Structure 1
């Protein structure tokens, strides 16, 4: 075999090997999944939840279209999964006035949760937030608890609490309107 032919075969082999490695790298890192434009009771936009999605192919959103709670419909939950793995959980629960929500003590894990200055009582973790408030209105009064949590494994460390504070602020305003809290 001539030297030029051997060189061409080596180059071709190297290009084929490089293409195979690049193909495997693309297979391992799937593109970010496409979220609906609005999700979870119509509260969150695609860009609100994208930091919690990570990589994947198929997004599944389950739950009602709104959080309009009343004495008969006392709770609503929205789940967002990517390729069958939970990424976001958003919930609202309504109870009769005077039946406050019990929050078990938090474990001593690091970093510790911190108070969240929303509603009557709020708490914030690296993986989510919870808020409770009393809704007193002319026609109806009740207790309302809002919670949201998400998978933060794809986020830059130290950024999740700011995201969950922002998400809960948006969720609280929308949930108050949808449940007619204080109306």
Structure 2
């Protein structure tokens, strides 16, 4: 498990004080500082925990990345693999009702996150894959969080398909 801690500089007035101290690449190497900056908010210490990649196999069935600022969770990114034919059960989301997300076989986006499920059929291996993103949106401009989570999930889906060899 990779754990990184960075001290943040700048005054509390500067909304972007947390983001410049994030690692250049975060959460399985998928996201850049700029990608996650809107979710970071204020703070002094950033902690990133999780594996370096999301290369899931039959024996390594899940990967989780957490990004916290001053001990408060700001971003949670998950990837889960299960045998072909098993479906994922999604818990309820925050109100209001989620919008469909046209990614994978099934996708939804709501105010504080997004989920995508897809079937990966390849010449070597076939499996079900679920990707999840959630984050603290208290510092995100009102009405823009679903657009942000859609963009983040689009990027995550493409990377996760490569890392898990989905369809290879």
Q: Say which SS state the counterpart of residue 65 (structure 2) adopts.
A: strand
Write the distance in 1 (CA, Å) between the matches of 2:17 and 2:135. 16
What TM-score do you get using the length of structure 1 for normalisation? Answer: 0.81
Greater helix share, structure number: 1
Q: Is the 8 A contact 2:114 2:133 kept in 1?
A: yes
Which of 134, 137, 144 is the equivalent residue of 2:129? Answer: 144
Higher strand share: 2
Which of these two proteins has the greater Rg computed from alpha carbons?
1
- The structure 2 residue matched to 1:69, chosen from 56, 59, 82, is 56
| Alpha-carbon distance, 1:32 to partner | 1.7
Question: Is residue 145 of structure 2 the alignment partner of residue 163 of structure 1?
Answer: no
Name the CA distance, whole Å, in 2 between partners of 1:115 and 1:129.
10
- Aligned with residue 55 of structure 1, among 42, 45, 67: 42
2:75 and 2:133 in contact (8 A); partners too: yes
Instruction: Tell me which stretches of 4 or more aligned residues in structure 1 moved more than 3 Å.
Output: 26-31, 104-107
Other-structure match for 2:26: 39
Residues 50-109 of structure 1, C-alpha deviations (whole Å, 9 max, x = no match): 0000011110000000000000000000000000000000000000000111123557x3
TM (norm. structure 2) is: 0.89
For 1:1-183, what aligned pairs fall within 5 Å after superposition? Answer: 29=13, 32-33=17-18, 34-106=21-93, 109=95, 111-183=96-168
Alignment size in residue pairs? 156
Q: Deviations over 1:130-170 (max 9, x none)?
A: 00000000000000000000000011100000000000000
Q: Offset at 1:28?
A: 5.2
Secondary structure, aligned partner of 2:82 = strand
Unaligned runs of 5+ in 2: 1-9
